[in-house]
Amino acid sequence: MQYGKHYILECIVKENDMLTNLEGVKALFTSIVKTLHMTPVSDCVSHVFPGSNGITAFQVIAESHISIHTWPEYNYFSFDVFSCKDFDDNALDALIHEAFPVAKKVRQIVHRGTLMMNETDLLEAPIVTPTSSTSL
């Protein structure tokens, strides 16, 4: 049993125009959701940083999330998709390469839920009951 796939990407780009293009990032997120058959549950939440115009954007999907953080001053961005369902990471790579002129990249795929992989261990785990409640 697997509880999620986490696609993690770091890139250096040849040109940094897309790293300051919020509408382009939102369009990329829309393409990702459509191509990977994900389910958006909110609009993209974003922030453009004064000075560098770097972007942080986050899309909540029913399957988990999509996020990006850009540093145009370094021609760099970090990006990830976490999903409780499997998805085509090669299709995701293609969308990223269409949107960004990637010069160098480091990609990792992390399979989440390794602590929960053994169902026997899960069934034998102690039930913890809170002794007091805390309000936020």
Residues with a catalytic annotation lie at 64, 69, 84
Q: How far apart are CA 6 and CA 9, in angstroms?
A: 10
Residue 109 · residue 81 · CB < 8 Å? no
